[in-house]
Chains A and B, each alone.
Chain A
Amino acid sequence: DTAVSQTPKYLVTQMGNDKSIKCEQNLGHDTMYWYKQDSKKFLKIMFSYNNKELIINETVPNRFSPKSPDKAHLNLHINSLELGDSAVYFCASSQLGQGPSETQYFGPGTRLLVL
C-alpha cells in the first residue's frame, strides 16, 4: 500500500497553462508538505499544512496555491506556468503535527516539464 501518493507522476504542459498536482497520504499524519527539487537536485520546502491550516509558506510566487481539503490531502495548483517551474515536486507528510522535526515520508514525486 502506498503511504504517500502523488498524481500525476509526469506532467508536460505549455507555458501559460494552469495545472494541479494531487497528493494523498494514508498514514494518518497531521502535517503535509510540498517541496521543489530543481535540476541540480536541490530540495527546498514550499508549503506546509497542519490539519488543513497553512503553517509554512516560503517565498513562492502567488501563482502557486496549495489547497488542503482534509488532512489526508494536499494539492498544489499552479497558474500561468513558466519555464522555470520545471522541476520535480515532492509531497511529504509527518506524524502528529509536530512539524518537520518529525520524520517526513515522501511521495514518489511529480516531474513537471513546462515547454
Chain B
Amino acid sequence: AQKVTQAQTEISVVEKEDVTLDCVYETRDTTYYLFWYKQPPSGELVFLIRRNSFDEQNEISGRYSWNFQKSTSSFNFTITASQVVDSAVYFCALSEPNRDDKIIFGKGTRLHILP
C-alpha cells in the first residue's frame, strides 16, 4: 500500500527562522515520484517540486531545499529564513507509475510564520 505521512499537523515559527516540514512515505515499488505542493490561504495549489526515486540528489531553490533520503523513506522540505508569505498548508505526495499511477497526498502541514 502506498502512504504518505506528514506527522506535523501544524507548525508556528517566527519570521526569519528556518523550518523543516517532514514527509515520510511508504511504497513497495522501486520507481516512484515524490512531490511537494503549497496551498496558501487563498486556496490554490501550487506545484513546488517533483523528485523521482532514482535521483537522491538534494535540491535547493532559493530559500527552499529538499532532502530526499531513500534509506529513511523521507522527503523533507526546509524553508530557510522564513517569511510571512510562506504561511500556507504544504502537501507532500507520492505516485507509483508502474502501479495505479495515482497521486496520494499526505494530510498536509499548516505552517504559520509569525511576524
Contacts and interface: CB of A to CB of B under 8 A. Distances in A.
Interface of A: 40-45, 48, 56, 58, 88, 90, 92, 98-101, 103-109, 111
Given A105-B47, A108-B44, A109-B43, A41 B107 contact: yes
B102 A45 contact: yes
A109 B107 contact: no
Cβ-closest 10 pairs across A and B: A106-B45, A99-B101, A101-B97, A43-B105, A100-B103, A100-B95, A108-B44, A101-B33, A101-B95, A41-B108
Given A40-B107, A41-B107, A42-B107, A100 B102 contact: yes
Contacts of A104: 47, 103
Contacts of A40: 107
A45 B108 CA distance: 15
A109 B44 contact: yes
Given A88-B43, A104-B47, A108-B43, A43 B91 contact: yes
Interface in B72-115: 89, 91, 95-97, 100-103, 105, 107-108, 110
Interface in B1-53: 33, 35, 37, 39, 43-47, 50
A46 to B, nearest CB: 11
Nearest to A92: B45
Interface of B: 33, 35, 37, 39, 43-47, 50, 89, 91, 95-97, 100-103, 105, 107-108, 110
Q: Quick one: which of A41, A42, A58 has the most chain B CB within 10 A? A: A41
Contacts of A100: 95, 97, 101-103
Given A56-B102, A106-B44, 20 more contacts: A41-B39, A41-B108, A42-B108, A43-B105, A45-B102, A48-B102, A56-B100, A90-B45, A92-B45, A99-B95, A99-B97, A100-B95, A100-B101, A100-B102, A101-B97, A103-B35, A103-B50, A106-B37, A108-B43, A108-B44
